[in-house]
A and B are shown apart, each in its own frame.
Chain A
Amino acid sequence: MKKKKSGAVWMILPLYIFTIIFVAGPLLYMVALSFAQPKAGHGVEWIFTLENYKKILDPVYMQTFTGSFKLALTSTLFICLIGYPFGYFMAKLSDKWKKRAMIFLMLPFWVNSLIRLYGWMIILQTKGLLNHALKSLGLIDKPLRILYSYPAIVIGMTYVLLPFMILSVYSSAEKLDWSLVEAARDLGAKPFKAFWTVSFKLTLPGLLSGVILTFVPSMGLFFIADILGGNKIVLVGSLIQEQMTRGSNWPFAAALAVVLMILTTLMIMLYRKITNAKELEGVG
C-alpha cells in the first residue's frame, strides 16, 4: 500500500514542478517586485520599501480603483440582467435549439476579441450604424456621442463578458429538475412565485459564479477601456499596463497587481461563503 502511494507522488511530481515554475514562481516574483524600488530610468533596485503601496493610497490612484470597481459593478449588473434570462431560457429549449444557441454563442470566439471591439467602434461612432438606425427611426435628432464615453466601455465589457454569464447560468439551469417547478405550481404557486422560490434559488449558484467570472476580469480588462473609452477613463488594468510600459515603474505596477489580486481573491472567498452558507445542495 505504502509503495503504491509513493508511486502516486512521483506521478504528479511533473505537475508540481510545472505549477511551481509557471504559476507560483511568477507570482512570488511579482510580490517581491512590489516591495522593491524602481531605478531611475529603467529597471529595479532590490531595496525593501513600502513606498509602492503607500503610493496607491494617493487619491489619484484610489480613484482609479474606485472607478474600476464602479465600472465592473455596472457592467456586471447589465451582464446579469441580460445573461441570466438568456441562460435560463436557453436551458428550456429543445435539444435541437439548445445546440444551435450554443453554436451562436460560441461563434464570436472564433474571431479575435480586439477585432470584434473594432467592430463596435464602427457601430458606436458618431456616424456609425447605431446613430444611423436611431435617426432613421426618428428617436433622435442629433447623433449621440457614445463612442469614447463611459457607456461605450460598459457596452464593450458587457459584450465581451456576457457569454461567460450565459454559460454559467445555463449549466446550472440545465441541471434544474423542471418537475420541481411543476410541483410548486401544483402546490399553489403562481408562475413567478414558482420561479422565485424554486428555479431562481436553485440556479443562484450559477448566477453567482457568473458574477465572479465577469466581475473579476472586468476589473482588469484594460483594452476595452482603451479602444472604446479612448483612453479617457483610466482603469486599474490600464494603469498597470501603463506603469509596466511607458511609466517603466515595475515595482509600482506589481503593487497595483497584488492589490487587485487580493481584492478578487476576497470576492471569490465571499462567493464561496455565500454559496456554502445557503447549502445549495442538489445543484452543481
Chain B
Amino acid sequence: MADTCLELKNIRKSFSKDETVLKEISLSIGKGEFITLLGSSGCGKTTTLRIIAGLEMPDSGQVFLDGRDVTALPPEARDVNTVFQNYALFPHMTVADNIGYGLKLRKVPKAEIKKRVSQMLELVQLPGYEKRKPSELSGGQRQRVAIARSLINNPKVLLLDEPLGALDLQLRRIMQLELKKLQKKLGITFIYITHDQEEAINMSDRIAVMNHGTFEQIGSPDEIYNHPKTSYVATFVGNANILKGKAEELEGDKVRVSLAGGSVLAAADGNTPAKAAPVTLAVRSENIVLDESCQRGLLAEVVEKSFAGGLLRVVLKLTDGTEVIASRYGIDASVQPGQNVTCFFEPENAVLVDVEKESGAES
C-alpha cells in the first residue's frame, strides 16, 4: 500500500456498561484510497466514522492522521470532513453560503470564496445554484451540495455516512458512478459507509466488513466476494449458503468434506484441515446446480420455488434439515416442491470459512 493516510489503533468504544460498540479495532488506510465500511445497522460503522471525525471520543485507542495523533483534537481541528447521512445542510443559508461556510470560517476573502464556490458547484454539476435554499433542492441536489460543502475545505479524508441512503435506486446508481469518478479525479481518501453490499463492491478499492464492533474481513471486493474468510462475510456479501460438515481427506489442492446426504469436494485454498475436523463451507446460491436424476451430489428435497425478476429461486432441504438456496437466471426449471433431487457445486465454488474460529475452538 502507498503512504498511510489514516490509521486507527485499537479503538474501543462503549456507550453503556453492557454494550461495547467497538472492540479494539485497528485499520490502516492509504492515501487516495476508497475504502468502504460495510455492515448491517448497529455493527459500529457509524461510530467508527464519528470517532475519525472527532464527533465521538474513543474510550481507548488512537487515531492518526498523516502520522499525527489527532485522538484528542476536536472536530474543527481535524483535516477531515463528513458528508452526513441526512446531508445536514444549514436551512437558513443559501447553497453558496452553505458551501462557502468552511472558507468563511478560515477568513478567506469574499471574492475568493465566491470563485471557489462556483468551481465546486461546477464540479458537482450544479452550476448557477448559488442563490437557492436547501429547501428548494431535490434529494440528489442536496446530496451534491453536501459533498461540495465538504470538499471545498480540501480535506485529507472525506467521510461519507450512507450518503446515498435516501435516494431512489436509479439515482443511487448514477451517484455511485459520479462519486467514484470524483474521488479518482481529486485523489482524496474516501471512507464510505453503507449497508448495501452491491454499492460497496461497485465503488471500493477495499471493503472492511464489520460485525458486532469488529472487522470480520478487510480486503478487495474480489477477495471479499470470492474468498470470504468467515460465514458472516459469505452470507452478508455473497448471500451464500453455509454448510457444516467434517473434513475427510485432502485430494491434491482440494479437500473432501462429508455433509448430510453425501460428500463433496471443496477448494482447500491452502488450508489443511485435520481428518474429522469440523469445517464450514460457503457456497453462493448461483453456484448450486440441481440434478433431477439424483445422480450427483447431496440428496435434498425441494421446499419452495419462486421467481423474482427473471431469477429462479429454489429452496432445498438437506437430509439433516439444513436449508440450501439455489438460484439461477431463467425460469425453465421443472422441479416441483416435494420432489427429491440432488444438488452439487464445483469445488472451486465452495470456500472454506471460519477456519480460524474452528481451529481456535479445537485447541
Contacts and interface: CB of A to CB of B under 8 A. Distances in A.
Interface of A: 177, 179-180, 182-191, 193, 197-198, 201-202, 278-283
Contacts of B102: 187-188
A177 to B, nearest CB: 7
Contact of A183 (B88, B105, B106, B153): B88
A189 B75 CA distance: 9
B55 interface: yes
B76 A177 contact: no
Given A179-B88, A182-B88, 4 more contacts: A185-B55, A186-B55, A201-B92, A283-B92
A194 to B, nearest CB: 8
B92 A184 contact: no
Contacts of A280: 92
A188 B84 contact: no
Nearest to A280: B92
A185 B86 contact: no
Contact of B91 (A186, A187, A188, A202): A202
13 contacts: A182-B88, A183-B84, A185-B55, A185-B76, A187-B105, A187-B150, A188-B102, A188-B105, A189-B105, A197-B101, A279-B92, A282-B91, A283-B91
B76 A190 contact: yes
Contact of A187 (B55, B81, B92, B134): B81
B101 A187 contact: yes
B120 to A, nearest CB: 13
Contact of A189 (B76, B91, B135): B76
Given A186-B81, A187-B105, A187-B153, A180 B135 contact: no
B74 interface: yes
Interface size class of B (residues with CB under 8 A): 20 to 34
Contacts of B53: 186
B86 A177 contact: yes
A281 B55 contact: no
A279 to B, nearest CB: 8
B76 A188 contact: yes
A191 B74 CA distance: 10
Interface string B240-279: 0000000000000000000000000000000000000000
A202 B92 CA distance: 7
A46 B74 CA distance: 73
B149 interface: yes
Q: What 6 A-B pairs come out closest when comparing CB atoms? A: A282-B91, A183-B88, A187-B102, A185-B75, A179-B88, A188-B105
Contacts of A185: 54-55, 74-76
Interface string B77-102: 00011101010111110000000011
B296 interface: no
Nearest to B152: A187
A15 B93 CA distance: 41
A179 B153 CA distance: 19
Contact of A282 (B54, B55, B92, B106): B92
The prevalent SS among residues of A at the interface is helix
Contact of A182 (B80, B84, B92, B133): B84
Nearest to A182: B55
Nearest to A185: B75
Contacts of B86: 177, 179
Contacts of B81: 186-187
Contacts of B54: 185-186
Interface in B147-161: 149-150, 153
A16 B151 CA distance: 57
A186 B75 contact: yes
Contacts of B106: 188
Given A188-B105, A188-B106, A189-B76, A183 B82 contact: yes
Contacts of A279: 92, 133
A186 B92 contact: no
B105 to A, nearest CB: 5
Interface centre among A179, A188, A202, A282 (most CB of B within 10 A): A188
A197 B104 CA distance: 11
B94 to A, nearest CB: 10
Contacts of B150: 186-187
A151 B86 CA distance: 48
Nearest to A187: B102
B91 A281 contact: yes
A197 B100 CA distance: 13
Nearest to B135: A281
A282 B84 contact: no
Given A179-B86, A186-B82, A188-B106, A278 B92 contact: yes
A281 B133 contact: yes
Contacts of A184: 90, 101
A185 B90 CA distance: 12
A119 B363 CA distance: 77
A188 B55 CA distance: 12
Given A185-B55, A187-B153, A198-B90, A282 B135 contact: yes
A190 B105 CA distance: 9
Interface in B41-66: 53-55
A281 B105 contact: no
Contacts of B92: 201-202, 278-283
Interface centre among A182, A183, A278 (most CB of B within 10 A): A183
B287 to A, nearest CB: 43
